[in-house]
A = this chain, B = another copy of it.
């Protein structure tokens, strides 16, 4: 088959590789119908994720069709259309049983293995480990594009941003960073009943996307946010929830500044450096800070919402490619700003 193969920092190509087979009784093989590219894939290509070895097929999000099943698979059948999520769950380790497969012990303590520790989804076929406890059958009547972004980005915004942040009806929420994952937080915070949703991003086109995804206010920088809060929240005390969706110390620290006493800072950003935590001010502030990798436990909920038309996850897909044009898709996604791209949708012809 053909697949997008990583050949070390800066190098990738659309290669012919061996067809995958079930190697464990709990595996299935899925033909990829639709896949996408994640910001993490760009990090891998920069060499920032050393665990990814040359020769690895990239990608960790897909909608596809089951074409082969391992001996122990009884709940999935050949022909089933499934969502293959970023996180693999064995279903039996303490973390999976607790609903936290992001730390699945059976796959090494980090549930993200596709395109990382095993071959991924940017290919014609992929082998899916622990398939029955990991994938989701896609209901009839929804398109691939409507569910594709439930593989990673939408549950990330919802679980790590909105749920960890305990966003509920009436809350004033700031989302710092309006890239795809920030937009996912905005979309699902809106759904959760926020009364005022503020997006912060220095890039104008991103602020426009934020408004389209449901933000009430959009500001270009932290200073504007500080002013907006001073004038626009009760006693100027701060937002109920601040969601960090960038991944640098400055934006994290901004979140701890603008949250009100008793509020929550929910970190989604992938950080490469430590931040300063101003405990000399925060110790008395009764705040909660959360971090996390997505678990995907909300995917059934999000599938229900997407099927009912209550979330428009297809809005993320701004550019479409055929699978053999995967390298072109990378080109556009890597320069998303130039193309005003959010996410690319790559489909089998």
Contact = CB atoms under 8 A, between A and B. Distances in A.
A291 B267 contact: no
Interface string A2-15: 00000000000000
Given A276-B276, A301-B169, A92 B75 contact: yes
Interface string A172-195: 100000000000000010011101
Contact of A133 (B92, B99, B287): B92
A280 interface: yes
Interface residues of A, number: 83
A157 to B, nearest CB: 12
Nearest to A101: B97
Contacts of A106: 75
Nearest to A247: B283
B291 A282 contact: yes
A142 interface: no
Contact of A275 (B172, B235, B277): B277
Contacts of A280: 271-274
Contact of A169 (B25, B97, B98, B188): B188
Nearest to A76: B92
Contacts of A300: 94, 97, 170
A191 B169 contact: yes
B261 A95 contact: yes
Interface stretch (A30-38, A200-208, A304-312): A304-312
A121 interface: no
A72 B277 CA distance: 42
Contacts of A95: 261-262
A146 to B, nearest CB: 14
A287 B286 contact: no
A279 interface: yes
B99 A286 contact: no
Contact of A267 (B91, B279, B305): B279
A132 interface: yes
Interface string A269-298: 111111111111011111111111101011
Given A25-B72, A280-B272, A293 B288 contact: no
Given A262-B100, A279-B249, A289 B286 contact: no
Interface of A: 24-26, 70-72, 74-75, 90-100, 102-103, 105-106, 109-110, 132-133, 158, 164, 168-170, 172, 188, 191-193, 195-196, 216, 234-235, 247, 249, 252, 261-262, 267, 269-280, 282-293, 295, 297-298, 300-302, 304-305, 307-308, 310
State the 5 A-B residue pairs at the shortest beta-carbon distance, nearest first. A72-B72, A170-B301, A91-B91, A271-B279, A25-B72
18 contacts: A24-B74, A70-B72, A92-B133, A94-B234, A95-B261, A105-B235, A170-B298, A170-B302, A195-B305, A249-B279, A269-B279, A269-B283, A270-B283, A270-B284, A271-B282, A275-B276, A286-B290, A287-B292
